Structure 1
Amino acid sequence: MTAHDGEDGGRAALTIPVGSLHDVVVGRGVLDRVAGMLPPGVARVMVVHPQGLETYARTVADLLAATGLTVHLAAVEEAEAAKDVHVAARLWAVLGELAFTRTDAVVAVGGGTVTDLAGFVAATWLRGVSVVHVPTTLLAMVDAAVGGKTGINTAEGKNLVGAFHTPAGVVCDLDVLRTLPHADVVAGLAEVLKCGFIADPRILELVEADPGAATRWDAPVLAELVERAVRVKAEVVAADLRESFLREILNYGHTLGHAVEQLEGYRRRHGEAVAIGMVFAAELGHATGTVDDALLARHRSVLAAVGLPTTYAPGRFDDLLAVMARDKKSRGATLRFVVLDGLANPVRLEGPDDRVLRGAYAALTG
């Protein structure tokens, strides 16, 4: 169930429950909801934010302080550089210096790298303190901030060190997207479209009807796309918090996508890499007979319509394969992929033949 609970910027703010785990508020002008997400008894809060978002983070901090909380700001590096054990250790040191206890909390203000990092720090400080996420990118709103996955990167791969740590709440204020670079809005749509392919085809229809509007921060359709994508993830996470299987469907396009990111030193946006990964997954499904010509073509057309990549460079498959072998979804020497058995019907593909993998990659590069 979801609930509209007030008018914000002409569209009702929406509260989406993630089962009984936590709520996600989606709306405009909803930053005043952050304090209410914190558990009773919290006295001190550390607001973690990237260096480029200090003004926005201070707005959140001031709203928290106005409720009587003691607030400390902690700036971290931008983008994937934040998801590093040295950055996490620096935040642990701050928490120690401030003598944070189990009744204190962390608030993450930033994109997916910050929510991943701050969530991990909260999960590991005193074996777990409360965290509230305030995602500031489209990608973080529909993916990273929702559901309790936290993590940092290592030289061997992305998110290989992490924990499941359910946030106390998530506040998605769509007004912050006003200053988000257009390329980042486009990249965030990859995770939205993923939800359309695996669970909610209406998402695909909305984007196909007006791709340009889907990339505008103030378009009503973008608000609906965010709500629908959050709802998909909320329903999956509520049913499978620790990724026993169902939650793996949210990794559609991510096995190759994460490998692309690592191979390129995280210089490519996550959403762009996931878009490439979804085309590869569609080619795998096509090769194994579960994705027909029309669904395969739809992947390329809808991704391209909003400006996402649908091809990749040839000659890099062996390097990508080596990275995919270390993916969290692999079991022993067996690669596992999420593919579609028809629209909105994701299934697991285990140990595909090497010729199938290389054929799918050849089609991706073609």
Structure 2
Amino acid sequence: MTETLVTVGLGDRSYPIHIQSGLLGKIANDLQAHPFAHRYCVISDDNVASLYGSQLIKSLNAARIDAQIITFPQGEMSKNFQTIASLASTLAQQGFDRKDGLIALGGGVTGDITGFLASIYMRGIPFAQIPTTLLAQVDSSVGGKTGVDIPEGKNLAGTFYQPQVVYIDTDVLQTLPLEELKGGLAEVIKYGVIKDADFFAFLDTHRKAILSLDKNTIATLIARCCEIKAEVVELDEREGGLRRILNYGHTIGHAVEAASSFTLIHGFAVAIGMCAAASLALKNGFLSLEESSAIRQLIKSYDLPVDIPSELDRDDMRR
């Protein structure tokens, strides 16, 4: 399978997104040809590190690239200042300075943590993204949003800090739990709703190939999502206006996610949020009944939730 290349055009901060099956084993070659740091520290959660960490470090070291790995406990509960402080201390103890860089290996939590750490360590060092979940591949690894959670809310402390490069290996999705794959598809559907009717139709007609992770279909899907996000970010990097369309489903989704104490995965919460937003748009005359129904039906066809769980406290969500 040939590589697909998408570029995020931000002037002298532009960067490539490489998409290919089996790409993980080729990253060392690209970093040899296009190094962005003197040495590298891979940041990963303990679960992803057990799957791909050793493979990545061995390939980098075999190419005489100085690299090591630091891990943290898996999950949203690690996305806090305590984790950032611990990782920063380890980097300092290992003598990492401004000539060095980070590599995020993992899902959205890992990407957010690594990007935020890179943006503040030594007042900013470069980093790369290797997203290992569909959600991270199509959304959070692209665009430069980083952040951590605080007691008052999700992602309330963060920065805009673009990566140097994004490497997307479609093969890593084979180890992704089905629930996480479906959660990522909620973000995929979002792009079809907000920006591309043809892509929306593609998702409807290629459901079987997508769910079976057909390599060519998945590569096409990921590339189109990255293209759409790149187009939006290029026009509105810091979310002054247009970029807010990427938050479709997230306003209500974040409230649902928090009300569930994060037992409901992010993608499922976004799916519920998109349906709720479509219903509100229908009531206020911004969507037709046909359009609102089509959105709900596509989400439902991927076995994603469409209604707010009855056990959640609506008052908690309003807060």
Aligned to 1:22: 15
Superposed CA offset, 1:99-143 (max 9, x none): 111110000100000000011111110111011000000000001
Distance in 2 (alpha carbons) for counterparts of 1:196 and 1:41:
34
**Percent identity, aligned pairs only?**
36
Give the counterpart of 1:171 among 161, 167, 172: 167
One-letter amino acid matched to 1:157: G
Aligned to 2:30: 36
Give runs of aligned pairs for residues 108-187 of structure 1, distance below 5 A: 108-187=104-183
Residues 149 and 164 of structure 1 are in contact (CA less than 8 Å); yes or no, is this contact kept in structure 2?
yes
Superposed CA offset, 1:292-349 (max 9, x none): 0001101111001011111113473322111xxxxxxxxxxxxxxxxxxxxxxxxxxx
Superposed CA offset, 1:150-171 (max 9, x none): 0111111110011111000100
Give the TM-score normalised by the residue count of structure 1. 0.82
Aligned to 2:43: 48
Q: Please tell me the root mean square deviation across aligned C-alpha atoms, in Å.
A: 1.6
Residues 216 and 222 of structure 1 are in contact (CA less than 8 Å); yes or no, is this contact kept in structure 2?
no
Superposed CA offset, 1:2-37 (max 9, x none): xxxxxx3xxx21110001321111111112236635
Distance in 2 (alpha carbons) for counterparts of 1:227 and 1:29:
16
SS in 1 for 2:166: strand
Distance in 1 (alpha carbons) for counterparts of 2:195 and 2:202:
14
Aligned to 1:310: 306
Residues 83 and 152 of structure 1 are in contact (CA less than 8 Å); yes or no, is this contact kept in structure 2?
yes
Residues 178 and 218 of structure 1 are in contact (CA less than 8 Å); yes or no, is this contact kept in structure 2?
no
Distance in 2 (alpha carbons) for counterparts of 1:216 and 1:27:
17
Residues 108 and 132 of structure 1 are in contact (CA less than 8 Å); yes or no, is this contact kept in structure 2?
yes
Distance in 1 (alpha carbons) for counterparts of 2:263 and 2:309:
15
Distance in 2 (alpha carbons) for counterparts of 1:67 and 1:123:
27
Distance in 2 (alpha carbons) for counterparts of 1:52 and 1:67:
25
Distance in 1 (alpha carbons) for counterparts of 2:99 and 2:29:
14
Residue 284 of structure 1, CA deviation: 1.3
Q: How many aligned positions are there?
A: 312
Distance in 1 (alpha carbons) for counterparts of 2:36 and 2:6:
24
Q: How has the CA–CA distance of structure 1 residues 104 and 252 changed in structure 2, closer, same or farther, with 3 Å as cutoff? A: same
Aligned to 2:219: 223
Unaligned runs of 5+ in 2: none
Residues 43 and 104 of structure 1 are in contact (CA less than 8 Å); yes or no, is this contact kept in structure 2?
yes
SS in 1 for 2:263: coil
User: Which segment drifts farther, 276-285 or 210-219?
Assistant: 210-219
Q: Which structure has greater helix proportion?
A: 2
Residue 259 of structure 1, CA deviation: 1.0
Residues 49 and 109 of structure 1 are in contact (CA less than 8 Å); yes or no, is this contact kept in structure 2?
yes
Give runs of aligned pairs for residues 1-366 of structure 1, distance below 5 A: 8=1, 12-20=2-10, 21-31=14-24, 32-33=26-27, 36=30, 40=35, 42-54=37-49, 55-314=51-310, 316-322=313-319
Residues 187 and 308 of structure 1 are in contact (CA less than 8 Å); yes or no, is this contact kept in structure 2?
yes
Residues 170 and 218 of structure 2 are in contact (CA less than 8 Å); yes or no, is this contact kept in structure 1?
no
Superposed CA offset, 1:184-209 (max 9, x none): 11110001000000001222212211
Residue 216 of structure 1, CA deviation: 2.0
Superposed CA offset, 1:54-85 (max 9, x none): 24022122222233222121111112122111
Residue 89 of structure 1, CA deviation: 0.7
Q: Which has the higher contact order (CA 8 A, sep 6+)?
A: 2
Residues 212 and 306 of structure 1 are in contact (CA less than 8 Å); yes or no, is this contact kept in structure 2?
no
